[in-house]
Amino acid sequence: MDLAPTPEQQAVQSQARRFLAAELTRERLAAFDREPAGHDAAFWRDVAALGWFGFGLPEACGGQGASILDVGLLLEECGRAVAPHGVFAAIGGALAVDTLASTAQKRVWLPALAAGQRHATIAVAERHAVNDPRAFATVLSRRGNGLVLRGAKWCVPQAVTADVFLVVARYRRGGCAVLVPADTPGVSVRPLGTLGKDRQSVVAFDGVTLPAGALCGRPAAVWSRWERLRRRLAMLLCAEMVGGPRRRSR
């Protein structure tokens, strides 16, 4: 079995390596550390123009339909160049919306996420619960024809630039996923200090009122889909981390 990258995959790797080597000088990376977003607008536009944010999304919504392996090879190059973690967060958030959101939600969000015009991020972990919806203190409940979300999520990646949060919460006897626009009243973001200088935050939801359409699909099916997605995202994060030790000093 030949496990070497295909010529097409090698071409993606080479393009990414050339672009990142030219763009991410020591001076620019140091400047990114001082930016609240962790990057500047010009870098974000250039990455969007390359199609990276929609690389693993379906072509029907403006993506490139790349496999999870292809996305991993791209992120390995990002790790090699110590690219801003916001790139990984944006790719992961878009994949989460594609996996968990309803058809109507995908129509609204995926084209903008693929183009890099909007940024989604995942809000799952809590201070005292990481991966068990029954232990979550963040709860979604019904109120009339709508929904109410209360609680807080910790270590939310790139929350400072997010346009929408995909929140996994407790709902009735199990878990659910809900899309919460960042500008919804009752949503607040508190940045956390990290050794890696990635932009992690506590995101609080103080009685956030949402329409029924904010719920992502059938709650009964969400947790198994989230578990599959979580393993895929863990693989992508490992790919990025593998690239890090391969960085050469300039």
- The DSSP result for 144-205, as a single string, is TTEEEEEEEEEEEETGGG-SEEEEEEEETTEEEEEEEETTSTTEEEEEE--TT---EEEEEE
pLDDT at position 198: 86
Q: Would you kindly state where each structural domain of the chain is located, as residue ranges?
A: 7-118+230-246, 120-218
pLDDT at position 224: 87
pLDDT at position 249: 44
Superfamily of domain 120-218: Butyryl-CoA Dehydrogenase, subunit A, domain 2 (2.40.110.10)
What H or E segment, with its residue span, contains residue 49? helix 41-49
pLDDT at position 174: 81
pLDDT at position 160: 95
Q: Identify the CATH number of the domain defined by range 7-118+230-246.
A: 1.10.540.10
pLDDT at position 14: 92
Tell me the mean pLDDT per 10 residues along the chain, length 250. Answer: 76 92 93 91 95 95 94 94 92 96 95 96 90 86 94 96 95 89 97 83 97 89 88 94 69
pLDDT at position 70: 94
Helix (H, G, I), strand (E, B) or coil at 1: coil
Q: Which of 114, 78, 79 is nearest to 94 (CA)?
A: 114
Dihedral sign for Cα atoms in the order 215, 221, 226, 228: negative
pTM of the model: 0.92
Q: Which of 92, 32, 33, 103 is nearest to 238 (CA)?
A: 92
